[in-house]
Structure 1
Amino acid sequence: MDDTMSLHTSKTGLTSFFKKFSSEERYRATAVAVNKVRFSSPKERGLAESVRVALEEGNFHLLKEFTNFLRQAELNDDDFLVIVKDAKKIVYSLTPDFVHVIECLLSLNWKQRNSEIIQVYTEFYIDIMVTHNRYLPMGISKLIVHWIPDDLDESDWLNGCPSESTRLVLKPIHEVLNRILTAVPMAFDLVIDAISAKFPYFKKPAHVTAGYLFNVLWIIEYKPMFEELILQLVLQKLVVLDVNAPRDEIGSESDDEDDKMKAAPLFQKDDLSADSLAPTANTVKHPVGKTLDISLLMLYRFFDSKCRIHQNSNDQQRWTANRLFKMLLHIFDEVLLPSHNTHHVQFVLFYVTSIRFAYSESFLDLLWKKVQNPNISAIIRHTAVGYMASFLSRARFLPLRIVIYYLKELSKWAHNYIDDSGEYNQNCSLKAHLVFYSVCQAVFYLIAFRARDLTANSKGLLFLQSLQLSRLAMCHLNPLRYCLAPVATAFAGFTRTYQLAYCHTVLERNARRKLATVYGHDKCMPEETLESFFPFDPYLLKLSNKYIKANYMEYQCNDKDDYMDSSIDEHLSRKRAASEILEEDDFILADKRQNHLELSKCQQLDK
């Protein structure tokens, strides 16, 4: 009998009941069995079976296991395809009760799969969005997240332009979004909200923001209805970049490189040559300034392609260009004009207006209407005057007749204001007459800056005589009192040289009044001065400057520029402190420099 049992066991290969296992072998066998249950079960059961059990039996245990499997597993192409095909078959059953598994499915890494998988996944994505619109916010957000480059992907983005491989990866994402917007118009607002919410933080690396901006502008190509809202959003975000990239921090880079900290005298010739603005680096070193530089470069490219009209442009292209400019003008009014302390983003208007003269006319007309409108706040009117003066001074593409026209209009407005204010009006505070003082400073600034053009012939001198500058400068409201000192001094010297007015007596009286006030109070309290807001002061960004420099007016010294007050000239020629802004071409030097001179005089009096 024993022999029979032994023979049977050896033939069948069965282990004898009496054979003992070691504890180590038993533990290993148990672990293998447990692992097979934990990881194989959700995959073998599949999505369709898990959803069926949940719907028919009310048991969501299998579905939870499958959801965890999707979150943890690294799916190969075959498994990915099976899961997505199953999901597409049961798309109508995937109600909001299955939000967790849907979130996992929409988060799958599908961008770099093969074309078959991308096609199947795209169809599923659109089906789920159309069938269950409750998933729209999540689905759109998941798509737009793919627009944000990784922090380490800098090599794939050169100045905001993706590599060919990156562009191919992004294309299916935009195709899905395009089809969703076509099928579900209600997704429009969700897309705008998602684009705004996902916009990178301003301190992110430059290629991250630029890559995201590339995708944001891409959507306009296939859905032009987004133009105005997207451009407004983009300019709002660029304003944030601009105010966090101060001129003094960007300008100090040139100081460090060249070790030149000499102060530029009033009306020194601009040093804005290509060599001075394009050193060894492609763009500025300031991290936020670099982001702004690349972003503006992309925006200039965009407007150049949309607003530039060629001889062979058809009526549709002309209409599109004009519509886009009107849109930009409205955005300027809503976003840029009320913004404070911006230095570069407003050059978008400077560049676009250089494309067509009609755009420049519209821009100036908008500003001039705001200046004249008493129902608009004084600070906005003051800002509009600054834009006018700076634009008329710096825009090389403007014919001189436009400069003369607005110089005449500004002067006429100021004279009318003097007439209406009454000769015995003693309230000459800056706050009470802010717009008037702003207009006067604009006139003085514009005449001083464009002196060479305005005095090129006898006709120009006759025009300047017709402006009655003497009455304007020496009226009872005393506009020279509140002007920036360099502007007032330069204007006084210019008018004396050409015998248009004699303002030095007023300047001396204002200086004595200021010193007497300070001495009487035994402390230095600088008088109020108009804010030096000239928005088109020299452009410091290096990469995008190629779109600006050809149309930018550099200051050119007049042969008769010998009219500066010697004390001011000596002070302005001193070496600048490291903390001051380097504005090599701008004859409006920092107010604090003038205040420093006044404080020095006060200290001498105290001694």
Structure 2
Amino acid sequence: MSVYTTKTSILKTFSGADRERAKVIAANKVRFATPKEKGLAESVRAASEEQNFHLVQEFTYFLKEAELDDEELEEILKDAQKIVHNLTPDFVNVVEALLSLNWRKRSCKTIEAFTEFSIEILVAHNRYLPMGISKFISHWIPNDQDGADWVNGCPSNQIYCELKPIHDVLNRIITAVPMAFDVIVDTISSKFPYFKKPAHVTSGFLFNLLWLLDYKPVFEEIILQLVLQKLLVLDVNAPRDEINLENSCKQMEEAIFHMDDITVSPDTNNSEETVDHPIGQCLDVCLHMLYKYFDKKCSIKSIFTDQERCTANRIFKILLFTFDDVLLPSHNTHHVQFVMFFITSLRQTYYEAFLSSLWQKVQNPNVSAIIRHGAVGYLASFLARAKFVPLCTLQLYLMKLSKWAHSYLDDSDEYSQNCSLKSNLVFFSVCQAIFYLIAFRVKDLTATTNDLLFLQTLQLSRLAMCHFNPLRYCLAAVATAFAGVTRTYQLAYCHTVLERNARRKLATVYGHEKSMPEETLETFFPFDPYLLKMSNKFIENNYLIYQGNADDNVSPEPLRRKRGDSEMVDDDDFIKADKRQKLLELSKSQEFEKHFHFGSSPGFSK
């Protein structure tokens, strides 16, 4: 204790007599100096035969408080191994003390002795399985102060060498005790780090989970589903606007430094840079690890064995099931869903199966409208953004969406008054998906004469002019962009409908100072631009950034951002000025209450 601390301490000072008394009590607490005097075997024998648990209690205190060297610890563990069958649940305290010993940084012989004892005690007495497995998995969680030993989720050589015996023990226990499977799953779930923990803590735990999958693939389904659920918690607590704000602040600081002629070392601008948002940084590192794992397991190699092919297909099926069960019903996600974007980019059969699964949900009337609405959003956003999806697939799903919408119109009553958003949610979602895809992929869909003829077969004018008036419920930028494209290529003329809808909203806007919530289709574009820096290298090569229509000779002019506008028209709105001049004058009527998340952006941004 420092001099300063001694002078300012508020603790009660002890007299010499009190200090000596405390030493005597501490000395009496452990009655033997070494385990050789009255070892574990004698203590257990006395308890079993004479019902005298006093020696066992003393030995337990000894294990908890004595500083044992490698030789003493090795001898105790070997003695314990000899009487392992006598260590019944009556001796749970001493067994817990033995399993809690500090063994990771010991000699190889001591580690081997601990390993052999641990396996034998857990195999012989299933009662100790939860306690023993919990002790082992606790070593998977890095300390908050160990960030230097965990760089981007990868441990240092020393940490790796300390973790290897733990995984070897677990591997042998799982093989010998089948019931350990459920115990390990429960323990992993309960010990998963809190989402506000430092990034190296969560990523270090994830590193060990992926290590477990390498030697025990039987855990793949449960572990991957659990990991995505936990990353989903990180995702919703790292909103896009907060990540953007952190990045903007950093850019401003860097600009100030450059203005002050402060040179930045090239080493500080490395390729492994991540975002500044604490939770976003953790999510970035974890997704980077997952992408790397999936790339290793599922990517097509020059030499691909049948077993590797089965492994890749099994992982994809697990992810597809997890998507349906966890991701699709979730609200306000930003980046975790890109796991599906990445895995489907590895093989053609994967993205075909993903799109087919989404389409089956869209057209299935037994699925809830909310899930069908979400499936439409995923379908449209994926087709718009996935560079690896060929044009023929895009046209195929445009045709399917169009046929479904026209069939919906054929089955409806033209004079029906029930045109509310709630009653026709799926229809409006499908129409907006068609409008969005045509507006976003206009360059590809109008490249040749045959492509234009295909767009004419979609009968877009009928959809836009129908009595349901889907343009009324679409997001403003989607409706405006679609109207501009269809007028340019003489596919439909929608501006009169937009102006009529705008006049209809004027009374609501000026009378109540906001548009009614049911006037706007709450839309989710799950594959909006990816903001995480480190893991983006697995996404960017397959990600399609919007490129303006080549037939437009007028340079784009961004819409002026107003309070409450949707976030899709920020920097690189592709709607040309000559196509929306009239709408700009009426833009007041197209303001929306900002009650939906960033995913409502159609992402017409570079």
Which band: TM-score by shorter chain?
0.7 to 0.9
1:37 deviates by 4.9
CA distance in 2, matches of 1:79, 1:596: 81
Match of 1:465 among 410, 431, 456: 456
Within the alignment, does 1:431 sit opposite 2:418 as a pair? no
Q: Mind listing any 5+ residue stretches in structure 1 that lack a counterpart?
A: 1-24, 261-274, 603-607
Within the alignment, does 1:517 sit opposite 2:508 as a pair? yes
Q: Mind listing any 5+ residue stretches in structure 2 that lack a counterpart?
A: 1-15, 254-265, 576-583, 594-606
1:545 deviates by 0.3
Within the alignment, does 1:392 sit opposite 2:383 as a pair? yes
1:179 counterpart residue number: 172
Within the alignment, does 1:573 sit opposite 2:573 as a pair? no
Give 3-state SS (helix, strand or coil) of 2:297's partner: helix
Decide whether aligned partners of structure 1 residues 479 and 100 sit closer, same or farther in structure 2, where only a CA change above 3 A counts.
Answer: same
Decide whether aligned partners of structure 1 residues 127 and 421 sit closer, same or farther in structure 2, where only a CA change above 3 A counts.
Answer: same
Give 3-state SS (helix, strand or coil) of 2:38's partner: helix
Within the alignment, does 1:124 sit opposite 2:117 as a pair? yes
Match of 1:290 among 281, 292, 297: 281
Within the alignment, does 1:311 sit opposite 2:302 as a pair? yes
Within the alignment, does 1:109 sit opposite 2:96 as a pair? no
1:594 deviates by 13
Amino acid at match of 2:479: A
CA distance in 2, matches of 1:580, 1:451: 21
The CA deviation string for residues 202-239 of structure 1, in whole angstroms up to 9 with x for no partner, is 00000000000000011111111111111101111110
CA distance in 2, matches of 1:317, 1:282: 32
Q: Which fold has the larger relative contact order, with Cα–Cα distance below 8 Å and residues 6 or more apart in sequence?
A: 1
2:195 counterpart residue number: 202
CA distance in 2, matches of 1:382, 1:472: 18
CA distance in 2, matches of 1:237, 1:473: 42
1:7 counterpart residue number: none
1:573 deviates by 3.3
Identity, % of aligned positions = 64
Decide whether aligned partners of structure 1 residues 280 and 229 sit closer, same or farther in structure 2, where only a CA change above 3 A counts.
Answer: closer
CA contact (8 A) 1:490 1:563 kept: no
TM-score (norm: length of structure 1): 0.86
1:79 deviates by 1.7
Within the alignment, does 1:545 sit opposite 2:536 as a pair? yes
Match of 1:85 among 74, 78, 89: 78
CA distance in 2, matches of 1:509, 1:578: 20
Decide whether aligned partners of structure 1 residues 35 and 387 sit closer, same or farther in structure 2, where only a CA change above 3 A counts.
Answer: closer
1:53 deviates by 1.4
The CA deviation string for residues 76-132 of structure 1, in whole angstroms up to 9 with x for no partner, is 112211211121111111110111111111111111111111111111001110111
Match of 1:413 among 404, 419, 428: 404
Amino acid at match of 2:107: N
CA contact (8 A) 1:397 1:551 kept: yes
1:21 counterpart residue number: none
2:7 counterpart residue number: none
1:215 counterpart residue number: 208
Within the alignment, does 1:55 sit opposite 2:45 as a pair? no
CA distance in 2, matches of 1:594, 1:298: 49
Decide whether aligned partners of structure 1 residues 599 and 231 sit closer, same or farther in structure 2, where only a CA change above 3 A counts.
Answer: closer
Decide whether aligned partners of structure 1 residues 68 and 579 sit closer, same or farther in structure 2, where only a CA change above 3 A counts.
Answer: farther
Amino acid at match of 1:216: L
Q: What is the count of residue pairs matched by the alignment?
A: 553
Decide whether aligned partners of structure 1 residues 232 and 596 sit closer, same or farther in structure 2, where only a CA change above 3 A counts.
Answer: farther
CA contact (8 A) 1:370 1:376 kept: yes
CA contact (8 A) 1:244 1:288 kept: yes
Amino acid at match of 1:145: S
The CA deviation string for residues 557-583 of structure 1, in whole angstroms up to 9 with x for no partner, is 11344799x9xx67x235999997996
CA distance in 2, matches of 1:389, 1:599: 23
1:243 counterpart residue number: 236
Amino acid at match of 2:238: A
Structure label with greater radius of gyration: 1
CA contact (8 A) 1:526 1:595 kept: no
Of residues 112-121 and 44-53 in structure 1, the stretch that sits farther from structure 2 once superposed is 44-53
1:197 deviates by 0.5
CA distance in 2, matches of 1:93, 1:403: 69
CA contact (8 A) 1:524 1:599 kept: no
Decide whether aligned partners of structure 1 residues 386 and 36 sit closer, same or farther in structure 2, where only a CA change above 3 A counts.
Answer: closer
2:13 counterpart residue number: none
Within the alignment, does 1:441 sit opposite 2:432 as a pair? yes
1:527 deviates by 4.7
CA contact (8 A) 2:374 2:524 kept: yes
CA contact (8 A) 1:248 1:581 kept: no
CA distance in 2, matches of 1:547, 1:419: 44
The CA deviation string for residues 384-439 of structure 1, in whole angstroms up to 9 with x for no partner, is 00001000000001111100110111011001001111101111111100000000
2:581 counterpart residue number: none
CA distance in 2, matches of 1:281, 1:30: 58
Amino acid at match of 1:242: D
1:258 deviates by 3.9
CA contact (8 A) 2:515 2:592 kept: no
1:155 counterpart residue number: 148
Match of 1:530 among 512, 517, 521: 521
Amino acid at match of 1:524: K
CA contact (8 A) 2:30 2:61 kept: no
Amino acid at match of 1:155: A
Match of 2:183 among 182, 190, 205: 190
Within the alignment, does 1:378 sit opposite 2:369 as a pair? yes
The CA deviation string for residues 240-274 of structure 1, in whole angstroms up to 9 with x for no partner, is 110000000011233224459xxxxxxxxxxxxxx
1:63 deviates by 1.5
1:451 counterpart residue number: 442
CA distance in 1, matches of 2:134, 2:465: 62
CA distance in 2, matches of 1:233, 1:594: 50
Give 3-state SS (helix, strand or coil) of 1:41's partner: coil
CA distance in 1, matches of 2:277, 2:337: 19
Amino acid at match of 1:534: F
CA distance in 2, matches of 1:111, 1:582: 56
Amino acid at match of 1:161: C
CA distance in 2, matches of 1:169, 1:248: 40
The CA deviation string for residues 297-345 of structure 1, in whole angstroms up to 9 with x for no partner, is 0000110011112221122211221122112111111111111111100
The CA deviation string for residues 332-366 of structure 1, in whole angstroms up to 9 with x for no partner, is 11111111111100111101111111111000000
Of residues 521-530 and 57-66 in structure 1, the stretch that sits farther from structure 2 once superposed is 521-530
* Equivalences for residues 221-300 of structure 1 within 5 A: 221-259=214-252, 282-300=273-291
Decide whether aligned partners of structure 1 residues 337 and 145 sit closer, same or farther in structure 2, where only a CA change above 3 A counts.
Answer: same
1:36 deviates by 5.7
Decide whether aligned partners of structure 1 residues 417 and 279 sit closer, same or farther in structure 2, where only a CA change above 3 A counts.
Answer: farther
2:58 counterpart residue number: 65
CA distance in 2, matches of 1:166, 1:499: 66
Decide whether aligned partners of structure 1 residues 310 and 170 sit closer, same or farther in structure 2, where only a CA change above 3 A counts.
Answer: same
Give 3-state SS (helix, strand or coil) of 2:365's partner: coil
CA distance in 2, matches of 1:348, 1:401: 24
1:18 counterpart residue number: none
CA distance in 2, matches of 1:494, 1:366: 30
TM-score (norm: length of structure 2): 0.86
Amino acid at match of 2:381: S
1:280 deviates by 8.5
CA RMSD in angstroms, aligned pairs only = 3.0
Give 3-state SS (helix, strand or coil) of 2:30's partner: helix
1:14 counterpart residue number: none
1:65 deviates by 1.7
Match of 1:483 among 458, 474, 493: 474
Decide whether aligned partners of structure 1 residues 578 and 475 sit closer, same or farther in structure 2, where only a CA change above 3 A counts.
Answer: closer
Decide whether aligned partners of structure 1 residues 312 and 28 sit closer, same or farther in structure 2, where only a CA change above 3 A counts.
Answer: closer
